[in-house]
Every structure is written in C-alpha cells, then in structure tokens.
Structure 1
Amino acid sequence: MILAERQARIEAEAAAALARDTASRLDAEALQLKAAASSTEAMIAHLKLQIERLRRELYGQRSERTARLIDQMELQLEELEAKATEDEIAAEAASRQAASPMLAQRRLPVRKPFPEHLPRERVLVAAPTSCPCCGSMKLAKLGEDVTETLEVVPRSWKVIQTVREKFTCRACEAITQPPAPFHVTPRGFMGPNLLATILFEKFGQHQPLNRQSERYAREGIDLAVSTLADQVGAATVALKPLHELIARHVMAAQRLHADDTTVPILAKGKTDAGRIWTYVRDDRPFGGADPPAAFYFASRDRRQEHPDAHLAAWSGILQADAYGGYNGLYDPARPGGPVTSALCWSHARRRFFELADIAASARRGPSTAPVSPIALEAVTRIDALFDIERAINGLGPEDRQRVRQEQSRPLVDDLHAWLQSKRPTLSCSSSVAKPIDYMLKRWSRFAGFLDDGRICLTNNAAERSLRGFALGRKAWLFAGSDRGADRAAIMATLITTAKLNDVDPQAWLADVLARIAATQQSQLSELLPWHWRRTTVEHRSAA
C-alpha cells in the first residue's frame, strides 16, 4: 500500500514537472514569436524611413510636410527599436530558463566608432592568477579584448579664487596691489562660461530661467530666478556692441530676406500678440563672399510703421511674402528710392499644395474634399522650377541668370499662360481660384527672379531663422515685457548669426564675454562669429 502511494506521488510530481516544462517552453516560444514580430515591425519602419529619405534625395523635398513626416517616422522607429530590444531580452531569458533554442534574432545595425577626441579611461579587469582548468600558474598573455562604453560625467562646479596680494613699501609706506579682475556684469560673481550657458539655454534652447534655477538647485547650487535674470540683463548690455555691428553688416546687404512671427507679450491682465521681425543676409545662394547674418526686431503689433522704420535707410531687393505692411517700402515716392520686391514661390506653392496633398486627403477619409487636379498640376509645374534652382545654387549671379533665361523662363511663361487659361473656368468661390489670383495679381514680382541672379526663388532663409521662436514660445509662453522681447531679439541676433556661420554659439559667447571688456572699440569686429571662427581654426591648425 505504501509503495503504491509513493509510486503515485512520484508519477504525479513527474507529470507536474513535465507540465511546468511544457508551459515554460510554450511561454518561451510565445516570447520568441513576439520578439520576431517586434523585430519585423521595426525593420518595416526602418525600410519605410530609408525609402522616404531616398525619395527626398532623388526627387527633392516634395512638400513642406516631408521633413515633419521623416521626423515622425524616426520617432516611430525609435519606439519600435526599443520595443523589439525589450522583447528580445525577455525571449532570451525565457529560452535560457526553458532550455529551448532561440529563434533567429534581427540583424542589429553596426554601431559607429566613438569619436577619437573623446578621452579614454582604461579599466583593467583583474586576470586569473592560475589556470582554472589545471591550476597551473604558468600563464602567458595572448592578447586582450577591449569593450568601449560611452559614459557621461555629470557637470562639475568650481569656485575660482582670484588672490590679489597687497604690498607696502618700507621706504615711502605706499601700498601697492594689482587691480581687481574684470567681471562681465557689474558686481558679478559668475564666470563667462556659466553666463554663456545661461544665455544659450534661455535664448538658444528656450529653457526659461525658472527651469534652469530648479536644475541648478538639484545640483546643489542655489541661484534664484531674480539673480539669473539680473545677470542675463547685464550680459545682454555687455554684448550689445556686437549686436550693433551685426545690424550694420546686415543692413549693408544688397538683398534681404524678411519675415515675422507672433510672440505673445505680457500686458495688463492679458497678453498682446507681439511680433518678432527678422532680416536675414545670406549671399551664399549666388556665390557671395560676405558672411551670413540675421537681425531681429521686436514690436507689440504688426503695423506697417515697423518695417518702414527698420528699413528706413536701406534700399535693395527684399524677399518676403505679400504682407501689405511692406508696401510702403515699394512706394516710388519713398525717400531714398523704392525697395525692389521679390515674392516667395514657396508661399504660392503652399496654397496649391494644400489642395493637392493626396496623402492628407487619404488620411481625412472619404468625407474630405477631393484632390484638385488643377492644384496638382500647378504644384508639378512649380516643382520643375525648384529642380532648376537646386542645380544652380551657389553659382554666381550671371550664371544663375543665364540658366534661368534658358531653362526657367519658358516654364514660367507656360505657367503664366496656363493659369490665365484656367482662371476663367473657375467660379469666384472655387478654392483653387484663390491661389491662382494670389499669383496672377503679383506676377511681375514673382517673375522678378528671372532677370536678377541674386534673387532666390523662396524666402526660406527668413522662415528658418524664425523656427526657433515658433518652437520656443511653447516652452516660455510669452515675453514678460517689451524690454524682454527686445532682449530676446538681441540674443537671437547673436545666436542665429553664430549658427549661420557654423560656430558653436555657447563656446563663442563664453569667449566673447571673457574678452569683450579688454577689446578696443576699433577691434570689436574681430569678435564677430565669422572672424572668430577663422581665428579659432588658425589656432587649431597651428597647434
């Protein structure tokens, strides 16, 4: 009887163990299948992203949403890659536990080597003193395997003590002491690198001072918002001479890009829809040797008086949209002569593209308006002009004008005739009639690029310079006052100009803040980003 019970118990335990092993194996297989599905999903997203990038390289940027689409696909790929890695780790652990073979893992991308300029810290893993197999101590080194891991060192703070020794003369009892060191701000206690960090994070990375203060507090440094604001104001005053030099450089251009965007400005119990105006000098599209720069103004409204005042002493070619506030500049009776208007083909194309976006129409579903064939044809014709412009970008004005006369003028004339033929067939309420009228009423200003190689086809340079404000105002919500908006315009002028010249804005600001007080007025131009970059490159080459 006892033997029978023991045999039954052994059989039951064996059956339970077999059931557990089977369940563990099934769970492992399920996790492997899940990991394979995640890997396949990530691979599909990766291939879609590659296809979209190749299409953009082959055909150019087909729409203004292409860049946003690629960004969204990259975010989606990031999530899928993380998900696939988590599933693979879980499947591998389950397989080890169930002692079942793993399915084929996805092919991971090859990691690029870490930059050579990064310092290397060598950590040597202790080697065995004897052979783990036989116990012998006669070991000879065959080589080594090195595994590199990228790590970050938390920001470190330090206090610099500048000691000024005081001496007295035993002969005449006069007291001698070196002068106090220069501080960027009056009664300042912040070094130039810290000031540059605060300025760049506030105006370049759009991090309000209260968030910076909270982050510094977590690092053990108590810097109140009022203290940071005081230092920002003083540093802006110190940098204002460079701002004036950049403004002078921009206003000496023969051609400017102009645009504006909203910046809410705090008022009594509300915010006013203020404006940030930008004027960009960029001669690189027509092979100009002068460095690019951007100049900003702030205002509480969008009245015509602002661009009239900004460009009162300037004349040349103004690339802008069809905003009526610029019309005073085009007046033949304007003192100093009228400004030449050049309109933006991207603005015109955008109006047609909104009616011809097949992808957006498909997303909205069957209830949306059908794609306009006239708008689609207009986009196709305008894109042919953009293809020509990409090929001549960077050539001299004469070469650009010659190519435009040979290749672009026939397309522009055909587009003009085609728009004129289509307009009478459309009613005034037709959605596609509005972009057609927008172009036909201003055709001479759209076609002006054919006769002047300095004119660009678009005003994208100005739009790019305002992108930071469009993104940043979601973080800081509004400017606290008119002076705050002016301060933002000054710092945006400095930071954007540095970026246009391929200069690290934070490193440049730190160096300028350390040197500007000791620099003579006649030598301030040496601190401008384009001269500073050349000097830095020369010093590195000499080193």
Structure 2
Amino acid sequence: MWFPFVVNTPAESPLSPTLPTDLAAAHAMILAERQARVEAQAEALAAKAAASSTEVTIAHLKLMIEKLKRELYSQRSERTARFIDQMELQLAELEEAATEDEIAAEATARQASLPAPALRRRPVRKPFPEHLPRERVVIAVPTSCPCCGSMKLSKLGEDVTETLEVVPRSWKVIQTVREKFTCRACEAITQPPAPFHVTPRGFAGPNLLATILYEKFGQHQPLNRQSERYAREGIDLSVSTLADQVGAATVALAPLHELIARHVMTAERLHADDTTVPILAKGKTDTGRIWTYVRDDRPFGGADPPAALYFASRDRRQEHPDAHLAAWRGILQADAYGGYNGLYDPARPGGPVTSALCWSHARRGFFELADIAASARRGPGAAPVSPIALEAVKRIDALFSIEREINSLSADERRQVRQERSRPLVDDLRSWLGEQRVKLSRSATVAKPIDYMLRRWDSFASFVDDGRACLSNNAAERALRGFALGRKAWLFAGSSRGAERAAAMATLIQTAKMNDVDPQAWVADVLARIAGLPQGRLDELLPWNWRPLPTTAIAA
C-alpha cells in the first residue's frame, strides 16, 4: 500500500526566500545580510561586555563587603586574609576579561557603524607622584592654518597628557680618579688613598652588592639566574664572581648581625619556631632546619624596636634551641615541640624559661574538624562536622576577640583585662573540654586536639597572669614565610655554611622589614658607610636608627 505525496517546488515553499534575478540586487542582498550579521555580532559582544562589567561590579562589591566586615569585626585570621587575597585575584581576572570584551565590542560596533557600547565605570586615577621626573615631549604644530592656509598662528594654550613609563635598569662605571702630586722641594710623591671596597680589590659598588644580596636572600633568586639575567643586559658576571661578592659582603655586614642578635637576646619575651630547609649532602639532601627567634614588644606597648634572629642546623635535635637560648631567660612563645623542653627544666643553669604555648596551633586542630566550607567541598562522602570541635573553635575565638581589643596596651592593662574577662572563659573552657573528653572514646578524632590542650593546660593558660605574653605565635610563623616560599625557587642550600649565610642575611633583611625600612636601600647605604664609622657608632646603622644620607653628602 502506498500513499501519494506532493513535492513543493522552491518557488512554492513558504520557507524559501525570494531570490533576486539580477546581479545588482543579489549583491545588495548579500551586503545587507553581512551588515545584519555584523550588527547582530556587535549586539552580542556588547551584551557580553555588559555581562562581564556586571560580574566585575558584583565581585568588587563582594570584596568591599568582606574587607568592611574584617575591619568591623576584626577578623584577622590567616584564613580570612587568604580568602580576601583569593577574592582580589578573582576580581583581577574578571576585570581583565571585561576589558577584552569591551575592546572587542567597540571594534565590532565601529565596523557596524553603531554607537559605542557603554563602558563600565572605572575608579578615578590618582595623579602621578610629584617626585617623579617629567620628560616633556612636544608634538610639532602645523606652520599654517589647516583651514585657510594662513601663516598667522598664535598659541592659545596647551593640553598635557601624562603617561607613566619605566626605564629599564641602566648600568654605569664610576671612575674614581686619584691624582698624584710631587713636591718640587723634597721630590716626595703624594696621592689620596684608594676608595673603600667591600671585597678585596673589589669592583662592585654598594648598590650593585645590595641588589645581588637582596635578590638572592630577599627575593629568592639564585645566583645562576641572576648571572643569566645580567648577561642578557650585556654584563658578564659569572656565578663564581657573584658568589665571591656575596661572601665578602656577608663578612662586612657581620658586625650589624651581632648587634641585632644582642638586641634580640635582651628581650623579655621571644617568639620561636622553625621550618625545614633541604641542605645538600653527599648524594642526597639532609632535612635541615632554619630557626627563628622574633622580638616584637609592640603588642604590649613596648618601645623597643622589633627584630628577628635566624639560625641554621642540619637536624632538629634539642641541642640547637638549648644552644641558641643558653644565656636567655624570659617568656618563650612557641608550639609544643619537645625540643624546647630542656629550656623549661627547673634545673636549667640560670633558671627555667617560661612557656607560653600558641592558641592558634591548638585552634587549628579543632578547626580542621569544624570547617563547614571544606566539608561541603569534599562532597557527600566527607566526614561530618564535629559539633564539639565547632563549639571549641567558638570559645577560642572569643578569647582572640578580647586580645584584638587590648592589642598595643601596656602589659599591666592587658593583664587586668585578662583577669576580668579572659580568665572566666579559660576556666570554663577547661571544664568543658574535660567533660567532653570523658564522653569520647580513645579513637575519636576530636579527642586528639582536646588531649593536646589538656596535657599542657598550664602553658596555655599562662597568658592570663602575664600581660607580656601573647595568645599566638604568629609573629614567628610570619618570619619564616619567606623561607617557605623560597624553597620552591632555590630547592636546597648548597652546604651548612650556605644555610648559615642565608640565616644571617635573613636576620638583616627581615629586621629591616619589621622596622618599615627598605632592605635593599638600607644594605646599600650600610655597605657604603660601614668602613668609615668607628666601632662605637655602628648602632647608627641599625634599621631602627638608620637615616639615609642627604644627596649633598652622597655627592661629596
């Protein structure tokens, strides 16, 4: 059985357009379709640019809200800071994409002879600093009127457009001329002494030395990479040559390192911590350690300047902190590392060190079990959030909230507030942790951070009775952050001497940063002046006493 069907011809189909029969009309139709397609594309790109602009605005507003919340509620935890950094990175990515979409939309609109799409509002650019030199570039004006050709032109004024530009690093050779004179009476020859160089028969100026040192120890750029970059700039400085300069400069700066170490070891309270540093050995690398001891009296209103002292070792044995702090007594802010136990021994010569453990370490153990956001990211198979850990985090956060209010007050004022407000919370937390621990089995995950605190409770609670103590050891952790980042760049220290040299230079650089001093400018000025100062005036070159020489003195 079959069914008849009717086939429509193109002229009879309702979907087929009527095509022109002559060539001119066909060309006109093609151009019209192209114009329509370009206009549609321009409208689509304009819509995409508008959507990108909206995303940028939303991200910017979210970032402002988070920053305001942080300022309002004083949420200065590391997690909050990382979250804001992540939001700023995301905002930068969105702004880059929005700019690309706007440029594409503008170009397509011009091609389609359409009005330019509305651009997103941008912040008003601040004027460039006045201290920057200005280079005036004048565009040549016509010699005659472009309208009538008259030569009678007079200046009405000018419009100045400022563009910020950077000049690549330039090198120069300073020729120090020492003229010789002879006496016609006695025929004696006299000549001024040669200028001081940090290295024997040295050729590198203080600014070049400071650049090499800061890039190696402050920016974590190994000497081989520096040598390659200098070669691309036309300067041949081999790795061995740079290493010679680094060794000599380290020796020249050793007196300042000793002064900083002496200043740190006179503190009433120190922050202590360590981090791993691979040290090259025969056919392998040893897991060495960088130790830091930070003096920072600003939290309890101390007037003494902050400073950081570093040491290096090939292992983490207890003998190292015992040797570092052999002659020191005071409050030691640290984690529960057993290598510090020798310092707390009552039989220690000179008396024991007072332990003040870090509440941030204790809180971290609970927070990992109470992180709701991380549990949501892990999916349905993730372990449930522990209500005990969540409650412990809330109670510890209440103590940190009080600490933020009394930061920078005097030690007596801090102690008084802690006795009135923090002690009841600390006592209640201990009782609550003890009650919860009785209900838990030995294998419960939340039992580990509870035991960590209860077994060391006296050291955790010591801050209540001493206003000089802090609630956390974040100052030492911040001081070690550079080494944690640098490990990815230089991979390992070449020897124990190399690790010790890195520790010495880190002492100088980190101390300068803590005192709001540009480390590279400071090191350059110190290298230029240290040979001309007597031993009794070296204190003038310490970061907290340092004042750069005026331009006239440098020229002289």
TM-score over 0.5 for the alignment? yes
Note the alpha carbon deviations across 1:317-337, whole angstroms, 9 max, x for none. 111000000000000000000
Query: Shift of residue 109 of structure 1?
Result: 2.3
TM-fit CA distance, 1:184: 0.8
Q: How is 1:144-293 mapped onto 2 (pairs within 5 angstroms)?
A: 144-293=158-307
Correspondence 1:506-521 to 2 at 5 A: 506-521=520-535
Q: Could you tell me whether the CA contact under 8 Å between 1:164 and 1:180 is conserved in 2?
A: yes
Pairwise CA distance, 1:216:
0.7
Q: Which amino acid aligns with 1:59?
A: Y
SS in 2 for 1:273: strand
- Partner amino acid for 2:246? V
Query: 1:98 is aligned with what amino acid?
Result: A
Structure 1 range deviating more: 73-82 or 90-99: 73-82
Instruction: Report the 3-state secondary structure (helix = DSSP H, G, I; strand = E; otherwise coil) of the residue aligned with 1:69.
Output: helix
| 1:63 and 1:353 in contact (8 A); partners too | no
Q: Identity over the aligned pairs, expressed in percent?
A: 81
Alignment of 1:332-347 (within 5 A): 332-347=346-361
Aligned counterparts of 1:96 and 1:137: Cα–Cα separation in 2: 36
Partner of 2:513: 499
What is aligned with 2:114? 100
For 2:420 and 2:263, locate their aligned partners in 1 and report how far apart those are by CA, in whole Å: 34
State how far apart, in whole Å, the 2-side matches of 1:310 and 1:217 are.
41
| 1:175–1:141 distance in 2 versus 1, CA, 3 Å | closer
Shift of 1:130: 4.5
Deviation per residue, 1:244-302 (Å, 9 max, x gap): 11000100111111000001000111111100000011111111111111100000000
Q: Does the alignment pair 1:397 with 2:408? A: no
- Name the TM-score, length of structure 2 as normaliser: 0.93
Ranges in structure 2 where 5+ consecutive residues have no aligned partner = 1-19
Structure-1 residue corresponding to 2:432:
418
Determine which structure has more spread, i.e. the larger CA radius of gyration.
Answer: 2
Secondary structure at 2:215 match in 1: helix
Pairing 1:378–2:426 present = no
Cα distance in 2 for partners of 1:493, 1:62 equals 26
Alpha-carbon contact 2:109-2:117 (below 8 Å) kept: no
Q: What does 1:425-444 correspond to in 2, within 5 Å?
A: 425-444=439-458
Secondary structure, counterpart of 1:529 in structure 2: coil
Aligned to 1:295, the other structure's residue is in SS state strand
Give the conservation status (yes or no) of the 8 Å contact 2:106–2:117: no
1:481 to 481, 492, 495: 495
Return closer, same or farther for 1:489/1:16 CA change in 2, 3 Å cut-off.
same
What letter matches 1:306 in structure 2?
H
For 1:183 and 1:62, locate their aligned partners in 2 and report how far apart those are by CA, in whole Å. 46
**Whose helix proportion is higher, 1 or 2?**
1
Alignment of structure 1 residues 441-460 onto 2, 5 Å: 441-460=455-474
> Is 1:59 the equivalent of 2:69?
no
Runs of 4 or more consecutive aligned structure 1 residues displaced over 6 Å after TM superposition: none
Most deviating of 271-280 and 518-527:
518-527
Equivalent-residue separation in structure 2 for 1:38 and 1:347 (angstroms):
41
Counterpart CA distance in 2 for 1:432 and 1:60 is 28
Shift of 1:434: 0.8
Letter in 2 for 1:112: K
Residue 323 (structure 2) aligned to one of 309, 320, 331? 309
Question: Gapped runs of 5+ residues in structure 1?
Answer: 1-5
Q: Counterparts of 2:167 and 2:77 in 1: how far apart (Å)?
A: 42
Which residue of structure 1 lines up, in the alignment, with residue 104 of structure 2?
90
**What is residue 379 of structure 2 aligned with on the other side?**
365
- Read off the aligned partner of 1:69 and give its amino acid letter: F
Letter in 2 for 1:173: E
Name the aligned partner's letter for residue 281 of structure 2.
A
Shift of 1:429: 1.1
Q: Which residue number corresponds to residue 120 of structure 1? A: 134
Q: Once the two structures are superposed, what CA deviation does each residue of 1:295-318 show, in whole Å capped at 9, x if it has no partner?
A: 000000000000000000111111
Whether the aligned pair in 2 keeps the contact of 1:35 and 1:91 (CA below 8 Å) is yes
Structure 1 Cα separation of the partners of residues 545 and 83 of structure 2: 38
Whichever residue aligns with residue 314 of structure 1, its letter is W
- The CA distance in 2 between the partners of 1:456 and 1:132, in whole Å, is 75
Amino acid at match of 2:203: F
- Alpha carbons 2:180, 2:190 under 8 Å: kept: yes
CA contact (8 A) 1:258 1:277 kept: yes
Aligned to 1:3: none
Could you say what secondary structure the match of 2:503 adopts?
helix
Q: Distance in 1 between matches of 2:156 and 2:188?
A: 72
What's the secondary structure of 1:506's corresponding residue? helix
> Aligned residue for 2:14?
none
The offset of 1:72, in angstroms, is 2.0
Q: Secondary structure at the match of 2:480?
A: helix
- For the residue of structure 1 that corresponds to 2:55, the secondary structure is helix
What is the deviation of 1:125? 2.7
* Matched position secondary structure for 2:356: strand
Q: TM-score, normalised by structure 1?
A: 0.95
How far is 1:405 from its partner?
Answer: 0.9
**More deviation, 43-52/258-267:** 43-52
Deviations along 1:485-539, one digit per CA (max 9) or x if unpaired, are 0000000000001011111100100000001111111111111111104x769x9
